[in-house]
Amino acid sequence: MSLPAYPPSRYDGEHGHSRTHLRRADQPPDITYPNGVKVTYLARGTETFGDFGLYRWDFSPELSGPGPHFHRGLSESFFVLDGNIRLYSGDRWVDAGAGDFLHVPPGGIHGFRNESGEPASMLLLFAPGAPREEYFETLLKLRDGSLEISESERDAFGTRHDNWD
């Protein structure tokens, strides 16, 4: 198996530039779900020119997280920062603790949840940098009752956001 080549140049300037993105640790989370789960957008796809999206997911002690699903166009990776998180790894749930990492290529069945009864946190990276923020913000509205949609609208929502059961 040969290693992938470096991608073609996307910057042709003679000197580097100063465009960067900094998110300070003291900024509040972007989303707080009714169960206390907090999501912080560390790097949106719009900020990485579509390369990737990176979120911090801080679980409350309450049971939460999606069941097994897959994406056709996205890879997703999980890095546990603290606590104990259950990850669905293609065919089974596995326990993951601080420092554990799971990468899921497009089409890979995966899920994540906190079943420990204790707080936990992880980084969630997806590539390319699709606009996932609207997906998670709509889930918040569905969960807090500020939005109701029909079953067919829910199916279209999942399709639009590359979520497949």
pLDDT digits 0-9 by tens, 89-103: 999 999 999 999 999
Pairing mode, strands 93-97 and 84-89: antiparallel
- Beta-carbon contacts of 56 under 8 Å, excluding residues fewer than 6 positions away, are 29, 39, 40, 42, 81, 121, 122, 123, 124
Please determine, for residue 113, whether its predicted confidence score (pLDDT) is greater than 90.
yes
Ranges of each domain in the chain: 31-131
What pLDDT digit, counting tens, does each position of 122-156 carry?
A: 999 999 999 899 999 999 899 899 999 999 999 99
Distance CA 76, CA 115 (A): 21
Question: pLDDT band at residue 25, thresholds of 50, 70 and 90?
Answer: very high
What is the spatial distance between Cα 111 and Cα 50, in angstroms, rounded to a whole number? 23
The yes/no answer on whether domain 31-131 falls in CATH 3.30.70.1140 is no
Q: What is the pTM of this model?
A: 0.90
Separation CA 55–CA 31 (nearest Å) = 11
